[in-house]
Chains A and B, each alone.
Chain A
Amino acid sequence: MTLDRRSFIRILGGASGVALAGCAGVPAVSSGSAGEIMAKSGRRVVVVGGGFGGTIAAKYVRMLDPTIEVVLIERNKTHVSCPFSNFYIAGLMPDMTALTISYDKLAANHGIKMVYAEVTAIDPTGKTVVTSAGTLKYDHLIVSPGIDFRTEEVEGYGADTANVIPHAWKAGEQSTLLRNQLQAMPDGGKVIISMPLTPYRCPPGPYERSCLIAQYLKTHKPKSKLVLLDANPDVVSKKPLFTKAWNEYYKGIVEYVPGKKVTGVDAGKKTLVVEGIEEHKGDVVNFIPPQRAGAIAVKADLVGEDKKWCPVNPVTFESTRQKFIHVVGDACVAGAMPKSGYSANSQAKVCATNVVAMMNGKEPVELSGINVCYSGITDHQSVSIAAVYTVTEGKIIAVPNSGGISPTDFSMTELEHIYGESWLRNILTEMST
């Protein structure tokens, strides 16, 4: 046991206001009886979260310096990709097999030690992670916790709301729920998608979802309508492309309504309330709540003054709030890089490179990053956005005069659909082998 009872209680005390609901069904650690999971003998990096960022961080630390022990902590035995889950929701993918990875090959190929547990606290002074299965000491900690929802800002949003009004913004059961609701909806029904103000996970995601669900409605339930309530004053990603897709393929089906910030829900009535007054009732309601960094980032005091996202050093991705703790992926503030799976992948490689440099007393290396993101607009067409990132004057920026979106004449959409599928296979293979 590396934490004495007093310091352990102090850590938990610091987490007041954040429920430990995630540990339901696993042995409680509040007694402080769970000991060290594995003793630390040499140098060790612990990674929290087995998604787009965490898997790559763990893998690249081992690839770059196999003398460093790497422990990857993840609460689930599998990870379901959010990218492409809209195809599954819209019935354009038979099941989630192509979206799902496990960790066995990754662990075996690179000698990564897997711990399947929930992280409940981080002690930055004792450099210790507390999990539902016991504690782990680290030299450097890389946290890639993804997002959680600011449901406390939404009146009427309770513990069961997402079971009736799914967010489907974390892929898996939620995706299946939304898919099933769409399939059960009678022809002539109304689907509502509500999306939050930026920043949120996957800027083009809600617009892609509107297109692919509209494709489903057009094919199977042509009398139905879809309303996209956008809290933002305008389309925030790939605007010319999505606007054209709505006009060319989904006229009379999709209604895009900007400036509609949902402030309340009534799950029983399947109703959303905009700015406290205007009610929108749907047969299927997909409410994507406003977001913040994953709960553990809040608990471990990694979020900045906005209490939402984690400020980091743009070279090492070390938290500006806690030494030896690095944050990558959706949870961190990474300048011009969007909150996407590809950004997380790039950031994790930069972070791993520089964690290894720091642990070996070497000079860190400046960031070079990429984001490539495909969005489906029909069952056989996709569009993309791509950019290269660099650091200038301490800020991550897109390299000037590069990057951009697909041609708006849609001349590349069928080819990009093929490349999009290829993207999915490559990035998930990178994460799982």
Chain B
Amino acid sequence: MTTNFMPWVLAAGALAVAPVTHAAPPTPAMLANPCGGCHGTNGASAGLATPNLAGQSKKAFVESMKEFKAGTRPATVMGRLAKGYSDEEITAMADFFAAQKPHSYDQVVDAKKADKGALLQEKHCARCHVDDGQDFKDDAPIMAGQWLKYLQIQMDEYKSGKRKMSEKMAEKVKPLSLDDMDAIAHFYASEKQGEGK
């Protein structure tokens, strides 16, 4: 983004206020705060299809933003927005959101599907999305308490090949049907982030 802040030329006339001549570069909070319009204050999303970012794994956030920026992850507005930030700024935003207290809103899920999903995720997902998706390993995101609609869109994009999976994930997902993946989405959505084991 910007390098140094330059004092601007005042328009002629009746201007009474001296310009601010020194401004620090954007802080992590300054960079992350505008995201709240879509992702909720401090990343606690109240919108049914927009993921929670509060408390999210730093690695997963950075990975996603880099994929959005490169155009390798399917996107609507995120592809266009991610291009507006440097890698350093993305890392700063990742730190900001990782440090926020998780907050999951109540949501309606199908209990039967969630039960089925609980068993499936144990076998297919838990090695990376550890502790029932409450925690993470490597660049896997935290899944617990994520919005159902968001998870369903992602599952659909994975299964249709629009969103690329890592090799280890592709191997685990291969035997799963879209119904199975939907059940797993219901399970993760049925949890509250930060209230796990």
Interface set of A (CB-CB < 8 Å, partner B): 59-60, 305, 311, 313-316, 318-323, 342, 345-346, 349-350, 353, 363-370, 372, 384, 386-388, 390-395, 398-399, 401-404, 406, 412, 415-416, 418-419, 421-427, 429-430, 433
Contact = CB atoms under 8 A, between A and B. Distances in A.
A372 to B, nearest CB: 5
Contacts of A390: 1-2, 26, 84
Contact of A367 (B11, B17, B26, B85): B26
Contacts of A319: 17
Interface of B: 1-2, 5-11, 13-17, 19-20, 22-27, 29-31, 33-41, 45-50, 76-77, 80-85, 89, 149, 153
Given A342-B37, A370-B37, A403 B50 contact: no
B149 A418 contact: yes
B30 A426 contact: no
B19 A313 contact: yes
Nearest to A325: B17
Contacts of A433: 41, 46
Nearest to B13: A305
Q: Is the interface of B mostly helix, strand, loop or mixed?
A: loop
Contacts of B46: 425-426, 429-430, 433
Contacts of B37: 342, 345-346, 370, 372, 423, 426-427, 430
Contact of B50 (A314, A320, A419): A419
Contact of B2 (A311, A366, A387, A430): A366
Contact of B20 (A60, A313, A392, A416): A313
> Which 6 residue pairs are nearest across A and B when measured between Cβ atoms?
A394-B8, A388-B84, A422-B47, A402-B84, A402-B83, A429-B46
B81 A370 contact: yes
Contacts of B23: 315, 363-366, 391
B81 A402 contact: yes
Contacts of A342: 37
Contact of B5 (A391, A404, A429): A391
Contacts of B35: 370
A427 to B, nearest CB: 5
B33 A60 contact: yes
B1 to A, nearest CB: 4
A111 B40 CA distance: 19
22 contacts: A305-B11, A316-B20, A320-B10, A323-B17, A346-B33, A363-B22, A365-B25, A365-B26, A366-B24, A366-B25, A368-B1, A370-B34, A388-B85, A391-B5, A394-B6, A402-B81, A402-B82, A404-B80, A412-B76, A418-B149, A423-B38, A426-B47
B26 A368 contact: yes
A318 B17 contact: yes
Contact of A386 (B11, B81, B89): B81
B75 to A, nearest CB: 9
A429 B85 CA distance: 26
Nearest to A358: B20
Contact of B26 (A313, A366, A423): A366
Nearest to A428: B46
Given A313-B17, A423-B37, A368 B31 contact: yes
A407 B83 CA distance: 16
Contacts of A315: 5, 20, 23
A366 B47 contact: no
A393 B5 CA distance: 6
Given A305-B13, A372-B38, A388-B84, 10 more contacts: A59-B41, A318-B17, A320-B16, A322-B17, A349-B34, A364-B23, A365-B25, A399-B1, A406-B76, A430-B37
B147 to A, nearest CB: 8
B12 to A, nearest CB: 9
B24 A430 contact: no
B23 to A, nearest CB: 5
Contacts of B5: 315, 366, 391
A392 B2 contact: yes
A399 B69 CA distance: 14
Given A319-B17, A394-B9, A425 B48 contact: yes
A71 to B, nearest CB: 21
A315 to B, nearest CB: 5
Contacts of A402: 80-85
A256 B176 CA distance: 50
A350 B33 CA distance: 9
Contacts of B48: 418, 421-422, 425
Given A313-B17, A322-B17, A368-B30, A423 B47 contact: yes
Which of A313, A395, A401: most chain B CB closer than 10 A? A313
A311 B15 CA distance: 10
Contacts of B82: 402
Contacts of B8: 314, 393-395
